[in-house]
Amino acid sequence: MSDTPYKTKVAVRNVAFHRVLRSELIKLFTLASTWWLLAIAVALTVGMGALMGWSINQLLTNPESVGMPPEMATEFDGLSATALAASGMQFMQLVMVILGVLYITNEYSTGSINSTLIAIPTRTVMVLAKAVNLSVTVFITALVSLYAATFVGWTFISQSGIDDRFTWEGLRLLAGAALANTLIAIFALAIGLLLRSTAAGIATALGVLLVLPGVISMLPWDWATTLGEYLPFAASTWLYTFNDATPLWHWTEWGFLKGLWVTGAWAVLPLTLGIITLKLRDAHTGD
Amino acid sequence: MIQTKGLTKRYGKTLAVDALTITVEPGKVTGFLGPNGAGKSTTMRMILGLTHPTSGTVKVNGYPYAQLKRPFQEVGALLDAHTLNPGRAARSQLRALAATHGIRDSRVSEVIELTGLRSVANRKIGSFSLGMLQRLGIAVALLGDPKTLVLDEPVNGLDPEGVRWVRDLVKYLAGLGKTVFLSSHLMSEMEQTADHLIILGGGKLLADVDMATFITAASEVGARLRSPHAAKMAAWLAQPGVQIDQLAPDYIEVRGLDAVQLGEAACAQGWELHELTPLSASLEQAYLELTGDATEYRFEAYTGQGARP
């Protein structure tokens, strides 16, 4: 056994946001699952950039070889490098949803929520720190991997496409796509916080993102169509859709601003609800 | 110092903790005893702000836990073993918790040394034995050199050396004037460690008493005798108010007369004695007498309502 004498007079400071931020960052990056998920997200994004670049190139140069009617080729003629990269983003979003849910539910599945809340009894600051760390991590990973994907994709479409990799419009599109990804990751974090279970959290978040749009689209009523537009996945696509027909700064017509507040609401409202229930409920429903 | 007033927690129809009013004093080790389901863990979770009381209050060093600005400086806690992520290395887990209070990495290394975890500090917690998990839990509890320690079954899973280390540590900390509140099912260990006892049964306070007083109160007057003349002595000692059990042909247990009276009697009769041991209760015996009644009481209560099998 240790002969180390027990030391007193330890320097201890108030629990504050920036300290919790650092604690939660250590927790995020000292789990192997985080590194795996981020690596998969980057690989999928870059891989999709290559795959889509290759298939568009095939379509344009030799449409019969990919079993497509030649008319379709015109649709992809003049596709920009960044739009190509962003169009392969759905797979990364699924991975980021898993990352967001896990960031909070692994605390419940392992019981570590107990030691976390003993250290941070006010609780709210813990959720906000996780939200900030997740946002920054997802945004940077998404932006870097999307940018990498533009370079991979460009090697295939350089004959037909538009090179916007070094333009304001191109970077704006990638930043918008990364922002969409970030807000959806926060939505996933909130769902995990509300449900406290990895399986239920991932199933619910992916259900709202992927299954619900399909179900609603089958309903015969007009309001269902409208409702479908407000679902998080559909709304988030406006964050990286820039063209002449789309208003940029309009509150009520679909475009960047409306996409931002609707997707933002899907992130902020469940997170607020999650914080309220976290404060009201006991730390752990088990034992 | 931990103070509860009318502390109550109800889960549906079950009263886990029922109007508990206790004060856990600084400067001594207070043992927290009670059968499984008596409400010990729930009480500890309410002290640490993890579980909200249905009614009543609980304060640590004068404040509700949620109002503490530096919880680690006030309270060090060890709950059951599964409060840490098994996928993380022990040192990373400690660093993450220390970071919330701006505690430096050098202090993390100190508690790793102190708990004897240096050789395994970079291993994943999932690979730890129960004993190593307990040491890590104690390392977490000691991070901020807290004034109060709340330890749920700290010696569970430790080897004899580890058990002794925890005993010495908590006594040392109590000697520094800290409040130590610990639960254990190991009665012999508790008897050696605690100065004071708080005992729960069915969520209610059964006893809040000094260790020595509690054991003495449960002790009976009597002694065990070993002698070649045991049978003759048993016959001679028989009188109203004296109970004699023959444990072996040469071994008897006498209640109602103390060791002094028995020794004098044997000497006067010229009977050779090989052993004369005064009967004294152990904590285990005293505890079982107390909680046995509580269990019976609960059984009656349940059958009275007819609600439980």
Asked if A130 reaches chain B (Cβ–Cβ under 8 Å), the answer is no
**N- to C-terminal Cα separation, chain A:** 32
Tokens 């949803």, located at residue = A97
- Look at residue A76 and tell me whether its pLDDT is greater than 80: no
Contact B69 A15 (CB under 8 A): yes
Tokens 């030691």, located at residue = A115
Q: Which residues of A touch B108 (CB under 8 A)?
A: none
Which has more pLDDT, B278 or A100?
A100
Residues B78 and B132 grouped into a single domain: yes
- Look at residue A2 and tell me whether its pLDDT is greater than 70: no
Asked if A3 reaches chain B (Cβ–Cβ under 8 Å), the answer is no
Q: Report residue B12 as tokens.
A: 């549906």
Asked if A12 reaches chain B (Cβ–Cβ under 8 Å), the answer is yes
pLDDT (0 to 100) of residue B309: 37
Q: For the purposes of burial, counting CB atoms within 10 Å of the CB of B45, is it exposed (0-12), middle (13-18) or buried (19 or more)?
A: buried
* Domain presence at residue B214: no
For residue A70, the 8-state DSSP code is T
* Domain presence at residue B268: yes
Specify the CATH number for the domain of residue B250: 3.30.70
Q: How confident is the model at residue A4 (pLDDT cuts 50, 70, 90)?
A: low
* Domain presence at residue A184: yes
Asked if B116 reaches chain A (Cβ–Cβ under 8 Å), the answer is yes
Which has more pLDDT, B180 or A244?
B180
Q: Which residues of B touch A31 (CB under 8 A)?
A: 85, 87-88
Residues B17 and B146 grouped into a single domain: yes
* Domain presence at residue A1: no
* Domain presence at residue B293: no
3 state SS of A8: coil
Q: Which residues pair with B207 in a beta bridge?
A: B199
Task: Say how far apart CA A100 and CA A94 lie, in whole Å.
Answer: 10
Residues B39 and B147 grouped into a single domain: yes
Q: B118 CB contacts (<8 Å, ≥6 apart)?
A: B112
Residues B155 and B246 grouped into a single domain: no
Task: Say how far apart CA A270 and CA B30 lie, in whole Å.
Answer: 44
Which spans in A1-123 are helix H?
Answer: 17-29, 32-61, 71-76, 81-86, 90-110, 112-119
Please list the ranges in chain B whose pLDDT falls under 70: 81, 293-309
Q: Which residues pair with B71 in a beta bridge?
A: none
Task: Say how far apart CA B292 and CA B85 lie, in whole Å.
Answer: 38
* Domain presence at residue B81: yes
Q: A12 CB contacts (<8 Å, ≥6 apart)?
A: B70, B72, B73, B101, B102, B103, B144, B145
Separation in Å, CA of A40 to nearest CA in chain B: 19
From the list B82, B104, B169, which residue is nearest A110 (CB)?
B82
Residue to test with chain B: of A3, A110, A118, A281, most B Cβ within 10 A: A118
* Domain presence at residue A106: yes
Domain end, chosen from B184, B209, B234, is at B209
Residues B198 and B231 grouped into a single domain: no
Residues B123 and B12 grouped into a single domain: yes
Residues B107 and B246 grouped into a single domain: no
**Domain tally, chain B:** 2
* Domain presence at residue B296: no
Question: How many residues appear in chain A?
Answer: 287
Domain end, chosen from B163, B182, B209, is at B209
The domain of A124 spans 17-32+87-144+165-280
Residues B100 and B158 grouped into a single domain: yes
Asked if A1 reaches chain B (Cβ–Cβ under 8 Å), the answer is yes
Residues B196 and B257 grouped into a single domain: no
Q: Which residues of B touch A17 (CB under 8 A)?
A: none
For residue A7, the 8-state DSSP code is P
Specify the CATH number for the domain of residue B204: 3.40.50.300
Contact A14 B69 (CB under 8 A): yes
CA distances from A231 to A185, A263, A264, B263 (A): 15, 8, 11, 91
Q: Which residues of B touch A4 (CB under 8 A)?
A: 110, 113-114
Which spans in B120-222 are helix H?
Answer: 130-142, 160-175, 187-193, 211-218
ipTM for the complex shown? 0.91
> What are the counts of helices (DSSP H) followed by strands (DSSP E) for chain B?
11, 13
Residues B19 and B148 grouped into a single domain: yes
pLDDT (0 to 100) of residue B295: 54
Cβ atoms of A153 and A81 within 8 Å: the answer is yes
* HSE-up of residue A227 (Cα within 13 Å, Cβ side): 14
Instruction: Render pLDDT for A172-214 as a digit per residue (tens, 0 to 9).
Output: 999 999 999 999 999 999 999 999 999 999 999 999 999 999 9
The domain of B265 spans 220-278
Q: Chains A and B: how many Cβ contacts under 8 Å?
A: 139
Residues B186 and B99 grouped into a single domain: yes
Residues B24 and B126 grouped into a single domain: yes
**Domain tally, chain A:** 1
Asked if A120 reaches chain B (Cβ–Cβ under 8 Å), the answer is yes
